[in-house]
Structure 1
């Protein structure tokens, strides 16, 4: 059954069964994980089969039930990690090696663990935004930004998580007022991706946008997008009573994992210094381990203080945050 994993998910020819393997359902493209899985296989001899499941992860796991070949779920955003936990398709993992993950970046019940972090920051025009002009998330609702802000839809997971973090700091009434203020300041309707907003700044359509830090690295390595990236600088806003909002890529073990021992070894590897360094160098993300250095380009973006609100708390507030976003018709 397990040797049919790749065949059943990707239409490939069935392969002979291997002595040890780990089957991963991933929201991230397999090529982004390949440097990590290759290093793990080289170190352990354990094969990693990765299937890209862009949508319907929970539905797929529920449908497969105990017969699911999946051992691990790898995904981005605390919202998706909270979703798989709430659906009952994961199991707790107690492993001392995973203690390297700070408590704020893991589930309180050990159902999921952050592997890397990325900050939700402001991209600001080098030409039209002065140093120190934007300092906080709260400031984005100030009328001084009217007609100057671009953003992807706020119903997107990244902005839902940011809104949930705002909710954790300020409560529902202030969060609703903040959403209305930011919407009133938009230069155009919320649409597109984080990179598209940087292109809009470059084109003079707006002056600041919300985005994830790693997109700066991705844009700089793209010949077409490099010019967009060079037109902006990264600003690390903070909550008035906290730090900069961060989100994670993370991992969870499925409730029916057929290869638990091998899967646990992969989880241990993913938080090791070797794997954390690979993340830092190839994906422009921040390691969860404090003693692993950031890549040189990531260092160049400057230092910041991550917000201390546990992501497990933010995950619980996600449904309320989404309701507020929809109530103000932010994307309308």
Structure 2
């Protein structure tokens, strides 16, 4: 299983500190001392806003990555988990701005503001046995939540959209030779060279998606999933607690949607099973989510480099990360 890459933004958003400060004052009545860019944003930009209390400002642009963009309905799910179910090992929900909205426009970006959780990402700190036990228990707690229909996030449909997006990107590489920069030329060369393997991967993904859609028993056991409890979305606090952040894409899905990520931590899986009872994982579903991850990384990084105007440093970062990912799954 390859999960080495984290799809992060390495360069700041196209907005000045003054504009950001004025916006924070207008929308949230804050007087920030400073806003420090954090290169942790997955398909977006993240700033630590230092004021009397610290906050996280998250920015995104629709279409930047697959499924990117904030949604009011998802914020309702987040609020239900935090306030109604009292689950405190997750980040607090976004704050309502003076506009009355949770999602607001900041220049060319959609923006939300959340209370900051002091700590270190597991991507940097790693997870001890104790951390893994807490994580497994937390995921089990989430999976046992029974949300009301109006609070529940969308349900898994085993979409083949990523296979189509990959196909579109591969076809697009045939049309931009004369207008490509150096990074794009490297990317185009690799995509063309690995076309047979990529086409086979997409076909396997689409075929497996069809099999899972036809298995009606899966939907009967859907649970609330975070969808990406990977090391970049886990915070270890100074008092050694584990917090799950980035509640942008929760989903009602098979438990394997989250357990796919937890497989790298044996103690977390054991802790999960001790809470839920013996749980047999469906290898078909795990394989689907592995293929989805593999393809999504290629589509997201590739699309950003091909379709978006980015700085040279961001393109270089994305190209380096994509190469690491493709090596990890045997494509380079």
TM beyond 0.5: no
Instruction: Name the structure, 1 or 2, with higher relative contact order (CA <8 Å, separation 6+).
Output: 1
Q: Given the two structures, how large is their TM-score scaled by the length of structure 1?
A: 0.28
Q: TM-score, normalised by structure 2?
A: 0.28
